[in-house]
């Protein structure tokens, strides 16, 4: 440039040759000066006739203005001038480093033949920066990356400036304005936005720890991926830009973008334009020009992991298998999506009943791979290692395959496919030269290879076999989900195989498990409705009997009645809720009331146990009789029992209305019950566990006291309510719910059935305990005794 001779060497920037400057010679200087003079003179004639300030150009689809200014001579003298025009960048480049649209003034990325118009700036113009949006270190996107100076919250300003995506999250967009992260949006008074997805490229998934949090998983991929890329929401248009452009305060440097680059001490430097380069180095700079299209062009790596930061819009999705509809409907956004996932496939062996050549084995291996692609969709399979004995023929061969799931998949879906790949059972009946051999897939080293020296053989025959079999007329759809198959084939004279039939004997465990799961759910549903119905009837009868014999006038009877009514209402609502899950508002209302009623059950349980323990403690202290409490005590205990659940239900409803992350319990789900972790642990499971623990501790303490003080126990046994108290103590302690907690922890099917049975019949057990007390028994006996003796009285 400018008279410097050029030699092309390998450019670390693109892997292509670039011009290296050497000292100029006089001939080159003269010729280049002449060339520049002619080119600049020609441009001067085009730009202005000297009679007007502004000239309008119409070239193809471009209509833009340039203005004559004191800087024109300097701009026109720039050797890179032609590379910074709208005509060149918009028609001859795949990607543009400068723009000529109406928004270039907002982003300050106009080409140099666009008139600068400050009136077209946006309110966000001072805050736009070129933000690194992928592993490409040279190209990014324009985003609002700073807070206004008036922002008082220093924490928000700091997080807005932070480049730690793990803690600040990816870009967000509102009304076509892209913000660096949600904190940058917040300080500009934007609270409603769409969030970019984050995709990791070339991720290493071999050592992903299981059962780690989403944050830890993100951190893992940041450290174990080749790079990342931000994926904008559908319909969002990003404004690309060039990263790392050095600048200065020179007016021409700030006016336009026509980047140049140079190496200083073997370090690559980019500048916004030639006038941003220090004067003493300007003649050493190179035009970026066409190189921009190839600067660090993204290489497509096979493995990607997509993390979505969108909020769920649906609550009843099935997230076991990824589908395009899920992405469109914004479902299952809390699960990462893996594309081109490479499976860990175990080494296996193909064993023949007859000795075969390695060429025949290679054809059979190709048939195995082809037949497997007929079983599972979206698999890319090829052999990476085939080992065969050094001799010409053998009865077995060792195979290692590389399997890739090409479609986006959830991790559980991937694990299922991996299990099916490793446990796929395969057999082939192979007819050739009037002989028939049976080849089977085995996981263990066959005896015929144990003492053999194996070598790697060429697998070109495998590839050709697969190509030929792809022309086969076997219907693929008829064999999907097959887990055990037999392939019937024969060999042509050309060593090419012809598959005559594929027979499926067994389907994937996933399908079988699905049937078992459906059957399991139907059995659980029948068991639940039967047990709950029995409990409702039993509790209604128990309440009726308590009222008949005026047991509700005592504190124990009042607590028993409150507990029974809560259980009746909760059981009925639970059964109704199973059919109301499709009606959102009804399901939501049922979920709230169920939350309250179940907590009230445990509330009255705890009050009852504590009251019984208080009476037993009082008797142990020497009181021979228990002082009967009055109406006021019963009312106070009832109010307390009703108020305790509100301490948990009211905050849960409020937080759920505001949809606060990690604190929304999810009323209105498919089961019409709050079951979103971790909020359900805070507002339901936690209180239940605490209540159960208190009841159990009190129970064991009372039993210990009773065994230790037998004399006091005699007085207790003489009391009219002794048997009833102990039965209530055992049942109302909530001991059955321990089974439910254990079934959730150990995920045992049998524990779940036991829990459904015990929990569903809890009302029935309470009724039995209530009706078999000595006091109730004597009253019933007296009542029926009077009825039976009444005829004798008449006589």
pLDDT for 786: 59
Q: Left, alpha or beta for 659 (phi > 0: left; psi -120 to 50: alpha)? A: left
* Tens-digit pLDDT profile for residues 378-410: 778 877 788 899 888 899 999 988 888 888 888
CA distances for 284 relative to 27, 84, 278, 747, angstroms: 19, 18, 10, 70
Higher pLDDT, residue 654 or 524: 654
pLDDT for 621: 55
* Tens-digit pLDDT profile for residues 737-747: 555 555 555 55
**Least confident window among 322-331, 511-520, 702-711:** 511-520
352 and 288 housed in the same domain: no
288 and 425 housed in the same domain: no
* Tens-digit pLDDT profile for residues 718-744: 444 444 444 455 555 555 655 555 555
> What percent of the chain is modeled with pLDDT above 90?
16
Pairing of strands 17-21, 54-59: unpaired
* pLDDT above 60 for 698: yes
pLDDT for 579: 62
Q: Left, alpha or beta for 189 (phi > 0: left; psi -120 to 50: alpha)? A: left
- 612 falls within a domain: yes
* Tens-digit pLDDT profile for residues 355-366: 988 888 888 888
pLDDT for 314: 46
707 and 647 housed in the same domain: yes
For residues 620-643, give the mean pLDDT: 69
Structural domains in the chain (count) = 3
Pairing of strands 227-231, 197-201: antiparallel
> What percent of the chain is modeled with pLDDT above 70?
70
655 and 726 housed in the same domain: yes
**Least confident window among 279-283, 289-293, 463-467:** 463-467
615 and 755 housed in the same domain: yes
Give DSSP secondary structure letters for 540-574.
Answer: HHHHHHHHHTTGGGSHHHHHHHHHHHHHHHHHHHH
Among 51-65, 477-491, 684-698, the range of highest mean pLDDT = 684-698
CA distances for 142 relative to 103, 106, 129, 772, angstroms: 12, 10, 6, 78
519 and 413 housed in the same domain: no
pLDDT for 417: 84
- 356 falls within a domain: yes
- Distance CA(759)–CA(739), nearest Å, equals 9
- 663 falls within a domain: yes
Among 81-95, 542-556, 696-710, the range of highest mean pLDDT = 81-95
* pLDDT above 70 for 317: no
Among 141-155, 328-342, 640-654, 767-781, the range of highest mean pLDDT = 141-155
Instruction: Give the closest residue to 593 by CA, choosing from 674, 532, 658, 657.
Output: 674
741 and 666 housed in the same domain: yes
What's the whole-number average pLDDT of the chain?
75
pLDDT for 324: 66
For residues 397-424, give the mean pLDDT: 85
Backbone dihedral angles phi then psi of residue 793, each to the nearest 5 degrees: -65, -35
The last residue of one of the domains, among 411, 434, 457, is 434
Query: CATH number, domain at 529?
Result: 1.20.1070.10
Higher pLDDT, residue 119 or 107: 107
- 106 falls within a domain: no
For residues 185-196, give the mean pLDDT: 94
* pLDDT above 60 for 792: no
pLDDT for 273: 92
What secondary structure letter does DSSP report for 684?
A: I
- Exposure string of 540-565, with b = 16+ CB inside 10 Å and e = fewer, is eebbebbeebebbebbbbbbbbbbbb
pLDDT for 510: 45
For residues 676-700, give the mean pLDDT: 77
Backbone dihedral angles phi then psi of residue 646, each to the nearest 5 degrees: -65, -25
Whether the CA torsion 629, 632, 634, 636 is positive or negative: it is negative
- 477 falls within a domain: no
- Distance CA(289)–CA(725), nearest Å, equals 91
Higher pLDDT, residue 688 or 758: 688
Q: Are 574 and 525 spatial neighbours (Cβ–Cβ below 8 Å)?
A: no
Residue 76, helix vs strand vs coil: helix
pLDDT for 749: 62
**Least confident window among 109-123, 160-174, 448-462, 647-661:** 647-661
* Tens-digit pLDDT profile for residues 436-455: 889 999 988 888 888 888 88
- 157 falls within a domain: no
**Least confident window among 16-25, 190-199, 736-745:** 16-25
The last residue of one of the domains, among 293, 321, 354, is 293
pLDDT for 482: 76
407 and 526 housed in the same domain: no
- Distance CA(438)–CA(454), nearest Å, equals 22
366 and 279 housed in the same domain: no
* pLDDT above 90 for 174: yes
- Cis peptide bond N-terminal to 678, omega within 30: yes
CA 503-504-507 angle, to 5 degrees, is 175
Task: Quote the pTM value.
Answer: 0.51
* pLDDT above 80 for 757: no
Give the Cβ contact number of residue 636 at 10 Å: 12
Domain region containing 771 = 515-621+629-784
* pLDDT above 50 for 190: yes
530 and 415 housed in the same domain: no
- 707 falls within a domain: yes
Q: Left, alpha or beta for 741 (phi > 0: left; psi -120 to 50: alpha)? A: alpha
Whether the CA torsion 223, 225, 227, 228 is positive or negative: it is negative
* pLDDT above 90 for 559: no
356 and 252 housed in the same domain: no
* pLDDT above 70 for 494: no
Higher pLDDT, residue 139 or 312: 139
594 and 695 housed in the same domain: yes
* Tens-digit pLDDT profile for residues 581-627: 556 667 778 888 888 888 888 888 788 777 777 776 666 555 544 45
pLDDT for 8: 32
- Exposure string of 10-20, with b = 16+ CB inside 10 Å and e = fewer, is ebebbeeebee
- 181 falls within a domain: no
The set of residues, in sequence order, having a beta carbon less than 8 Å from that of 492 and lying 6+ positions away, is: 498
Burial class (CB in 10 A: 0-12, 13-18, 19+), 230: buried
Q: Are 496 and 363 spatial neighbours (Cβ–Cβ below 8 Å)?
A: yes
The last residue of one of the domains, among 389, 415, 434, is 434
* pLDDT above 70 for 779: yes
- Distance CA(115)–CA(40), nearest Å, equals 20
């Amino acid at each position: 440039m400018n008279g410097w001779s050029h030699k092309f060497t390998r450019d670390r920037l693109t892997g292509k040759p670039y011009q290296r400057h050497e000292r100029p010679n006089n001939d080159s200087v003269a010729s280049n000066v002449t060339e520049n003079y002619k080119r600049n003179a020609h441009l001067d004639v085009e730009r202005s006739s000297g009679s007007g300030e502004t000239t309008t150009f119409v070239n193809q689809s471009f209509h833009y203005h340039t203005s004559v200014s004191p800087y024109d001579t300097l701009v026109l003298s720039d050797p890179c001038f032609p590379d910074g025009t709208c005509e060149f960048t918009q028609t001859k480049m795949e990607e543009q480093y400068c723009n000529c649209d109406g928004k270039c003034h907002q982003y300050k990325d106009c080409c140099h033949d666009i008139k600068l118009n400050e009136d077209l700036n946006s309110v966000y113009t001072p805050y736009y920066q070129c933000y690194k949006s992928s592993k490409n270190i040279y190209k990014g996107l324009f985003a609002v990356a700073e807070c206004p100076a008036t922002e008082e919250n220093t924490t928000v300003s700091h997080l807005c400036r932070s480049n730690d995506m793990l803690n600040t999250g990816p870009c967000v967009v509102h009304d076509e304005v892209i913000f660096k992260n949600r904190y940058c949006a917040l300080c500009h008074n934007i609270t409603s936005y769409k969030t970019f997805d984050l995709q990791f490229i070339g991720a290493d998934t071999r050592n992903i720890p299981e059962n780690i949090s989403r944050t830890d998983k993100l951190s893992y991929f940041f450290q174990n991926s080749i790079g990342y890329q931000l994926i904008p929401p559908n319909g969002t248009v990003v404004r690309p830009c060039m990263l790392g452009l050095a600048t200065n305060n020179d007016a021409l440097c700030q006016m336009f973008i026509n980047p140049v680059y140079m190496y200083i001490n073997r370090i690559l430097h980019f500048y916004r334009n030639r006038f941003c380069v220090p004067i003493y180095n300007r003649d050493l700079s190179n035009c970026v020009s066409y190189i921009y299209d190839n600067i660090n062009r993204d290489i497509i790596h096979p493995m990607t992991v997509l993390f979505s930061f969108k909020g769920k819009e649906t609550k009843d999705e099935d997230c076991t298998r990824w589908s395009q509809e899920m992405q469109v409907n914004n479902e299952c956004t809390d699960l990462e999506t893996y594309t081109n996932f490479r499976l860990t496939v175990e080494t296996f062996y193909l064993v023949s009943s007859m000795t075969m050549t390695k060429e025949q084995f290679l054809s059979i291996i190709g048939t195995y791979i082809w037949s497997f692609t007929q079983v599972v969709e979206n698999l890319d399979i090829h052999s990476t290692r085939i080992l065969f004995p050094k001799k010409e023929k053998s009865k077995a061969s060792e195979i290692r395959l590389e399997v890739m799931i090409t479609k986006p998949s959830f991790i559980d879906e991937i694990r299922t496919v991996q299990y099916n790949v490793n446990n796929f059972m395969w057999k082939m009946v192979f007819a050739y030269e009037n002989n028939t051999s049976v080849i089977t897939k085995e996981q263990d080293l066959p005896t015929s290879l144990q003492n053999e020296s194996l070598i790697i053989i060429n697998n070109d025959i495998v590839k050709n076999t697969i190509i030929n079999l792809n022309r086969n007329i076997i219907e693929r759809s008829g064999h999907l989900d097959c887990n055990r198959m037999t392939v019937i084939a024969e060999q042509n004279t050309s060593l090419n195989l012809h598959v005559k039939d594929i027979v499926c004997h067994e389907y994937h465990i996933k399908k079988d498990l699905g049937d078992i799961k459906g059957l399991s759910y139907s059995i659980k549903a029948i068991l639940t409705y039967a047990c709950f119905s029995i409990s409702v009837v039993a509790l209604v009868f128990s309440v009726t009997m308590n009222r008949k014999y005026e047991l509700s006038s005592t504190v124990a009877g009042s607590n028993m009645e409150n507990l029974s009514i809560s259980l009746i209402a909760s059981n009925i609502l639970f059964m109704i809720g199973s059919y109301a899950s499709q009606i959102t508002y009804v399901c939501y209302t049922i979920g709230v009331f169920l939350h309250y009623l179940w907590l009230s059950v445990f509330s009255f349980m705890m009050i009852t146990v504590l009251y019984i323990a208080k009476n037993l403690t009082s008797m142990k202290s020497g009181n021979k009789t228990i002082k009967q409490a009055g109406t006021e005590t019963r009312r106070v205990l009832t109010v307390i029992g009703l108020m305790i659940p509100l301490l948990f239900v009211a905050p849960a409803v409020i937080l759920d209305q505001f949809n606060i992350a990690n604190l929304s319990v999810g009323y209105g789900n498919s089961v019409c019950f709050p079951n979103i972790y971790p909020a359900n642990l805070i507002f339901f499971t936690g209180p239940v566990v605490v209540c159960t623990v208190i009841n159990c501790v009190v129970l064991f303490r009372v039993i210990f006291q009773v065994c230790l003080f037998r004399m006091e126990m005699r007085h207790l046994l003489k009391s009219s309510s002794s048997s009833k108290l102990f039965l209530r103590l055992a049942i109302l302690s909530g001991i059955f719910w321990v089974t439910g907690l254990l079934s959730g922890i150990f995920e045992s099917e049998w524990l779940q059935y036991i829990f459904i049975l015990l929990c569903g019949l809890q009302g029935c057990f309470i009724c039995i305990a209530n009706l078999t007390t000595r006091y109730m028994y004597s009253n019933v006996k007296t009542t029926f005794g009077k009825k039976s003796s009444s005829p004798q009285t008449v006589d």
